[in-house]
A = this chain, B = another copy of it.
Amino acid sequence: MRLEILPVLGIGDVTEGDDLAALIGAAAPWLRDGDVLVVTSKIVSKAEGRLVDVPADGPERLAARDEVLAAETARVVATRGATRIVQTHHGFVMASAGIDASNVDPTRLVLLPKDPDASARALRAALHERYGVDVAVIISDTMGRPWRNGLTDVALGVAGMAAMRDHRGEVDPYGNELQLTQMAVVDELAGAGELIKGKRDQVPVAVVRGYLGVAPPDDGAGAAALIRESALDLFSLGTAEARAAGLRAAATLPDRLGDAEADPAAVRRAIDAVAGVVAPGTVFTHVTDAEVRAGMTATVPDWPTSATGLILGAAPTPVDRPDLVRFGVDLQRLRTALAAEGVSSNLLPPPAGTTAVASLAL
């Protein structure tokens, strides 16, 4: 058993309206059942007319490019300097939404195919209809990734095979059940194709032979299966963006109680976290005793009976107006530190008959 990776030579320049199946069929009459075609997305985009006219240079070009990018963007993920990592309407997270200015006339930009899985299905069907070959088709593009330098080619679309090979449930020779082993084989195939495409100019299609015995009769679920829902992704936002979101959340922290009793250790950590920045003499005391809490409903008219604890805040004495403002600033610091520990709080006046300046219901 061996795999072969073969270049498809002689396709030449692709322009709008070109018939990709005819170009590939003519250039690779040697295609066989079970071959996996790796097709650079750019020629698919060009054939499908996914091109936008833009000025060749100057600020007009930048402005036009920004407009195109905004239209291709479903969600901004991270930005730094001129870099824009966005999620496209397809769901791919890519720099500049995959918009490309290379290998095209300087007055045009190339957008990603509108529906790469559909493009792959159409090309596979056309090759089958006209040349009688049953192949799988991968539409590939180049992407960066977090944590590792360098780019790799991955799949935007696929037809004729599953995007992933699932080893879950298999048992290794030692009797351990394999877990977390859904391999994104179409991404590995796209990268393998790049190895030969990248070595030669103008080689937009590679063929991987020997991977599939025969292509399955159906198209499969497509590369859409590779898109992780952003709510499930641990890296749905850039670090700077998520940090700023944390600051904004602190600015608009709601007055509300948590759903469960606050962990005293978490409250302790929050108090300790602000100890170095609050005004000297400011003391925050965490009270968890049930009887003390019960007494609160008598001394603070609007004390919420569902509160599971309280923090009493004592300011340094004597307390004049700027001190009270500063105390409020420090109290909000504490509330923010509590929020970082997952503890909600509700700002209330101090209990009657105490020297506390304010209280927080937890």
Write the residues of chain A forming the contact surface with B, with a CB cutoff of 8 angstroms: 1-7, 13, 78, 80, 83, 85, 92-93, 95, 101-106, 142, 144-154, 163-165, 167, 172-176, 178-185, 187-189, 191-192, 194-196, 198-202, 208, 211, 225-228, 233-254, 270, 273-274, 276-277, 319, 321-322, 324-337, 339-340, 347, 349-350, 357-358
What would 14 A/B residue contacts be, using CB atoms closer than 8 Å? A1-B7, A3-B4, A78-B234, A78-B235, A142-B181, A149-B227, A149-B228, A151-B180, A191-B192, A246-B247, A247-B337, A251-B336, A252-B273, A253-B277
A-B CB proximity, top 4 nearest: A328-B328, A246-B246, A150-B184, A250-B250
Residue of B nearest to A167 (CB): B198
Q: Which residue of B lies closest to A340 (CB)?
A: B247
With A and B bound together, what is the CA distance between A104 and B192 in angstroms? 29
Task: Report the Cα distance A146→B211, complex, angstroms.
Answer: 26
Beyond A148-B154, A151-B180: 16 further Cβ-contacts under 8 Å?
A92-B147, A95-B180, A151-B181, A236-B239, A237-B242, A242-B243, A250-B251, A251-B333, A321-B324, A321-B357, A325-B327, A325-B357, A328-B330, A329-B329, A330-B332, A332-B336
Q: Given that A3-B4, A4-B3, A180-B95 are contacting pairs, would A251 and B334 also be in contact in the complex, using a CB cutoff of 8 Å? A: yes
Cβ 8 A contact of A195, one of B163, B189, B201? B189
Cα A153 to Cα B152 with chains together (Å): 12
Copies of this protein in the complex:
2
A327 → B minimal CB distance (Å):
6
A274 adjacent to B251 (CB under 8 Å): yes
- Chain B hits for A198, CB < 8 A: 165, 167, 183, 185
User: In the complex, what's the smallest C-beta–C-beta distance from A309 to chain B, in angstroms?
Assistant: 19
**Taking CB as reference atom, which chain B residue is nearest A333?**
B251
Residues on B with C-beta less than 8 A from A199 are: 1, 211
User: Could you say which of B149, B163, B173, B347 contacts A329, with CB atoms under 8 Å apart?
Assistant: B347
A337 nearest in chain B by CB position: B251
A96 to chain B: closest residue by CB: B180
Residue of B nearest to A105 (CB): B174
- Of B145, B164, B243, the residue contacting A245 (CB under 8 A) is B243
- How many angstroms from the CA of A242 to the CA of B211 in the assembled complex? 41
Report B-chain residues with C-beta under 8 Å of the C-beta of A175: 106
Residue of B nearest to A147 (CB): B93
Write out the residue numbers on chain B whose beta carbons fall within 8 Å of the beta carbon of A152.
183-184, 187-188, 191
**Separation in Å of the A102 CB from the closest CB of chain B?**
5
Docked CA distance A232–B173 (Å) = 42
